[in-house]
Amino acid sequence: MRRRVSLLIIWGLVLSMAATACGSSTTKTQPTATATHGGSNATTTPGKPLGPGDVHLQPFVTGLQSPVYLTYAPGQSDRVYVVEQSGRVMVVGMDGTVRAQPFLDVHQLISTGGERGLLSIAFHPDYARNGYFFVDYTATDGTVTVVRYHVSRNDPYRADPSSAQIILTVAHPVSNHNGGLLLFGSGGYLYIGIGDGGSGNSANGQRKNTLLGKILRIDVDHTSAGRQYAIPSDNPFANQAGARPEIWAYGLRNPWRFSFDRSAHDLYIGDAGQNEFEEIDYQPAASKGGQNYGWAIYEGNSCYAGGGACSTGGLTAPVATYGHEGGNCVVVGGYVYRGQKYPSLTGAYFYGDDCSGRMWSFPAADARDGHGAAQQILDTQLLISSFGEDASGELYVVSLDGNISRVTG
């Protein structure tokens, strides 16, 4: 077992680490991360299988306070933004220099510790013109909260705290499985990952009358029906009685980190498992949404519900899974590499595990074509909380212990 105990206590058994079982799987843990299926006609650089020695990590920045996310603002290639769970968003230059003054500080508005806190930031696609960005945090009462802010009109390195506008709130029954990622898709809509509600709430993944256990898709450029957002007319359940119209995909346990391939626009989702399996889910760019990724009927490719309830009818299976052997516990979804510095990495999808610090990769074509197996590429001492992408498509690994590394070839 690897060295993880003290820092995991700090993060409260991060991201539903081996949560107390509400049921049991019917198969044994799998020794490797295996790609299982997908399906899309997208064409882009296919990538090649990578193995040990093909990928390296280069120190980028140290000394941050429990960083959980890294991203960039459209139109800015000279900096990235790092989210600290304690409530700050820090600006980091491309040389790794951290500006002393936070871009945003919401520590007084949030509950933190365990899986709560400030969890992500997303910049509007037209940020260079409108100055809008959005954050996801757990409020002092634990409510999952999405808020829009505006950059300061006098200082591009500071947000205007008085501009806060709450866009969406979701009551959350317990402290874990908050999800927490905000991400704009290529169509300009905001995608929001929300966990199933934590302990005792696993059935929410299959319930379409709740936002828990889902990925949502909303239009933040318009308002409707008393909401601070509108429902895209082509959302899969926009007109289905009894279903929440915000839902884009369901059957998820805790979709902590997901990403769009910036070239093919396919969606990759890292969904945290229960006691045995972690999974990477996939949605092709041409999808109309509505996928059911199986929780809590399946955990990975293993029957979780038991008995006749484990029909696969209507379910979308993961494209990769791995077991909890060797200290693995929580998947952290990553990105398809589309940077320019390391051509040998192009088209490879990267992801990792928070507890073991291991990283895996498989060619993006595997998700689309449904063949191949993920390969372990690194075995680190990092507490991987997230991956990140800068304006040029270069990738980063964020570690909860305060360090961020660049992914290199």
Structure tokens at 198: 């934590």
Query: Residue 291 CB: number of other CB atoms within 10 A?
Result: 23
pLDDT the model gives residue 373 = 74
- pLDDT of residue 139 exceeding 80: yes
**What average pLDDT score do residues 378-403 get?**
98
pLDDT at 7: 43
The pLDDT assigned to 1 comes to: 36
Measured in whole angstroms, the distance separating CA 43 from the mean position of its chain's CA atoms is 24
CB distance 319 to 389 below 8 Å: no
**Distance between CA atoms of 194 and 184, rounded to whole angstroms?**
15
Region 135-148 average pLDDT = 97
pLDDT value, residue 32: 42
pTM of the entire predicted model: 0.91
Q: How far apart are CA 210 and CA 237, in angstroms?
A: 12
The boundaries of the domain holding residue 14 are: 5-408
**Residues pairing with 299 in the sheet:** 302
Instruction: Taking residues 147-167, report their average pLDDT.
Output: 98
Q: Are 42 and 186 in contact (CB under 8 A)?
A: no
- Closest to 407 (Cα-Cα) out of 377, 385, 362, 367: 377
- Give the per-residue pLDDT at 269: 98
Whether pLDDT at 23 is above 50 = no
- CATH number of the domain enclosing 297: 2.120.10.30
More confident site: 196 or 9: 196
In this structure, the number of other CB atoms found within 10 A of the CB of residue 46 comes to: 14
Place of tokens 């990267």: 350
Q: How far apart (Å, rounded) are the C-alpha atoms in residues 42 and 283?
A: 11
Paired tokens of 81: 């933004």
> Three-state SS string across the chain, please?
CCCCHHHHHHCCCCCCCCCCCCCCCCCCCCCCCEECCCCCCCCCCCCCCCCCCCCEEEEEECCCCCEEEEECCCCCCCEEEEEECCCEEEEEECCCCECCCCCEECHHHECCECCECEEEEEECCCHHHHCEEEEEEEECCCCEEEEEEEECCCCCCCEEEEEEEEEEEECCCCCCCCCCCEEECCCCCEEEEECCCCCCCHHHHHCCCCCCCEEEEEECCCCECCECCECCCCCCCCCCCCCCCCEEEECCCCCCEEEECCCCCCEEEEECCCCCEEEEEEECCCCCCCCECCCCCEECCEECCCHHHHCCCCCCCCCEEEECHHHCCCEECCCECCCCCCHHHCCEEEEEECCCCEEEEEEHHHHHHCCCECEEEEECCCCEEEEEECCCCCEEEEECCCCEEEEEC
Chain mean pLDDT for the chain: 90
Kindly report, residue by residue over 318-365, the tens digit of the pLDDT. Answer: 999 999 999 999 999 999 999 999 999 999 999 999 999 999 999 999
Task: Tell me how far apart the alpha carbons of residues 62 and 326 are, in angstroms, rounded to a whole number.
Answer: 27
Q: What is the pLDDT of residue 369?
A: 77
Distance from C-alpha of 90 to C-alpha of 373, rounded to nearest angstrom: 37
Candidate from 113-122, 171-180, 229-238, 378-387 with smallest mean pLDDT = 171-180
Number of domains in the chain: 1
Peptide bond into 367 cis (omega under 30): no
